[in-house]
Structure formats: structure tokens, C-alpha cells
């Protein structure tokens, strides 16, 4: 269910990682194992969009290259960054995305032209967010989707479709590094991955049937809810 909804909203890891930890999985292993499962989920989520041709392929070569570099850096940083700093980063980022989504109601429903500076900013954001994506991934695709709408002028459908493909590479690179460090639970990751793959395929097909307005509404509800949840967690 989570993977079906998160095809549009992103932020799967903000649910799956805490659940894994609650079941006794060590935090770093939970993050690494979840990253492996995200490879399956992102692949499954990309398939319906690829069949319909809504992925912005012109952005992929440079965006994927930057993502591979950033994700590798983020994965290497995982074991050296305190959990408290991670939680603060997620909360601030989600609040920023929520503010953007609420105030910029005109964006994401129609594709629009953007300046060269805005496009350059989009690639910078892709690299910076990739570092975070390789590090943890919680809220990564949500923030990347917002960046693609704002800086590349994509519709929500185009942004959701394109960021799913990019997340395949982000998760794959991070998983390879975590595997090298020996912190991936392959059995658990495979079980999660297969479940997420099926859910993501279903979610992608549902997303293709939603109008741009409804895609934006679903995305907005999820972002505002996640921002509120993270803010409350910081205040405790």
C-alpha cells in the first residue's frame, strides 16, 4: 500500500525505515536494506510511465550522472552522521517543500518554459539532493519532484515519472556501497523489494489515470502531512 501511494508522493523511507527499526533492525542496517528494496520499487514505478512515454528523457543523461556521483557521496557519509542531524535535515526540507507546494498553486498542472539559470539550478538541486538520497532517501523523491516542477517547469506527472527513473540509479549506487560495507540484509531486502515492486506498478498505473490537478492534490496532502509529522517529532 505504501509503495503504491508513494509512486506519487515519495517519502517511502520515512515509513519503512522506522518500521524496520521498531522490529529490532539496527538503524544503519535498516537504512541500507530499505535502499535495496527501493531499487525494486523505483523500477516497478517507472514501468507504467515508460510505456506511456511521459518520462522527460532529455533530462536523464546529466541528471543520472549527477545522481550517481551524489548518491555515492551520501552513502559513504551514512555511518558518520548523527541520527539527530538526519532528523533535523528531513524536517527542514519537508517544511520547505510543503511551503512551496501550498504557495505555488499554479505550478505542476501545465508544463512551462524555464530560463537557462533555472535549468542550471535544477541540475544543482539534483546533485545536492542525490547526496541526501544516497544517505537516507526519506523524502528524497518528494523534494526532487518539487525541484523538477519548480526549476525544470515540468508537470507533476512528468516530474513524478522522471524522478522515479532517477531514483533507480540513486538507490542502486547506494545499495552497492552499503553491500560493500556489509550492512545489507539481503533476505529482508528481497522480501521488501518484491512487495514494493508490485505495489509500485499498481501505483504507477493509478497515477497515469489521475488528472494533473488530482496528482497535485495527492502530492500536497502527503507533503503537508509529512512536514507536520517531522515538526512534531522535533518538538518532543
pLDDT digits (tens, 9 = 90+) for 183-193: 899 999 999 88
Which tens digits make up the pLDDT trace of 131-154? 988 877 777 888 888 889 889 988
Distances (CA, A) of 21 to 17, 57, 163, 185: 6, 37, 27, 13
pLDDT for res 83: 58
57-66, 68-77, 106-115, 135-144: which has the minimum mean pLDDT? Answer: 106-115
- Is the confidence at residue 10, as pLDDT, over 80? no
- Cell (9 digits) for 42: 523505483
Task: Examine the pLDDT at 3 and tell me if it is beyond 50.
Answer: no
Question: Is the pLDDT higher at 104 or at 39?
Answer: 39
Residue 9, pLDDT above cutoff 70: no
* Measured distance CA(90)–CA(49) in Å, rounded: 28
- CB atoms inside a 10 Å sphere around CB 227: 24
Tell me the C-alpha distance between 141 and 199, whole Å. 17
Contact 8, 141 (CB under 8 A): no
Reduce the secondary structure of 56-108 to three states and give it as a string.
CHHHHHHHHHHHHHHHHHHHHHHHHCCHHHHHHHHHHHHHHHHHHHHHCCCCC
The larger pLDDT score, comparing residue 172 to residue 15, is at: 172
pLDDT of residue 82: 64
Rounded-to-integer distance, Cα 50 and Cα 48, Å: 6
Nearest to 41 by CA among 93, 90, 5: 5
Q: Give the domain ranges of the chain.
A: 2-235
pLDDT given at position 19: 74
Read off the pTM. 0.78
- Average pLDDT over the chain, rounded to whole? 78
Ranked by mean pLDDT, the top range of 39-53, 75-89, 159-173 is 159-173
Looking at residues 100-122, what average pLDDT do you find?
73
Query: Residue 57's pLDDT is what?
Result: 92
pLDDT tens figures, 174-232: 999 999 989 899 999 999 888 888 877 776 666 666 666 666 666 666 666 666 666 66
Q: How far is CA 147 from CA 27, 50, 85, 101, 135, in A?
A: 28, 21, 22, 11, 19
Amino acid at each position: 500500500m505504501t509503495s503504491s501511494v508513494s509512486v506519487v508522493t515519495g517519502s517511502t523511507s520515512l515509513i519503512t525505515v522506522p518500521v524496520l527499526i521498531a522490529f529490532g533492525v539496527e538503524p544503519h542496517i535498516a537504512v541500507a536494506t530499505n535502499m535495496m528494496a527501493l531499487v525494486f520499487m523505483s523500477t516497478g514505478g517507472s514501468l507504467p510511465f515508460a510505456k506511456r512515454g511521459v518520462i522527460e528523457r532529455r533530462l536523464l543523461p546529466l541528471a543520472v550522472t549527477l545522481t550517481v556521483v551524489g548518491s555515492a557521496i551520501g552513502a559513504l557519509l551514512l555511518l558518520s552522521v548523527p541520527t539527530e542531524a538526519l532528523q533535523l535535515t528531513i524536517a527542514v526540507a519537508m517544511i520547505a517543500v510543503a511551503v512551496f507546494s501550498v504557495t505555488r498553486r499554479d505550478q505542476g498542472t501545465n508544463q512551462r518554459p524555464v530560463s537557462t539559470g533555472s535549468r542550471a539550478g535544477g541540475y544543482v538541486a539534483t546533485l545536492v539532493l542525490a547526496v541526501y538520497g544516497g544517505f537516507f532517501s526519506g523524502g528524497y523523491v518528494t523534494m526532487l519532484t518539487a525541484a523538477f516542477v519548480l526549476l525544470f517547469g515540468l508537470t507533476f506527472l512528468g516530474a513524478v515519472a522522471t524522478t522515479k527513473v532517477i531514483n533507480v540509479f540513486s538507490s542502486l549506487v547506494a545499495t552497492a556501497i552499503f553491500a560493500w560495507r556489509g550492512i545489507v540484509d539481503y533476505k529482508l531486502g528481497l522480501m521488501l523489494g518484491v512487495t514494493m515492486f508490485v505495489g509500485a506498478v499498481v501505483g504507477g498505473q493509478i497515477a497515469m489515470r489521475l488528472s494533473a490537478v488530482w496528482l497535485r492534490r495527492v502530492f500536497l496532502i502527503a507533503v503537508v502531512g509529512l512536514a507536520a509529522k517531522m515538526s512534531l517529532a522535533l518538538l518532543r
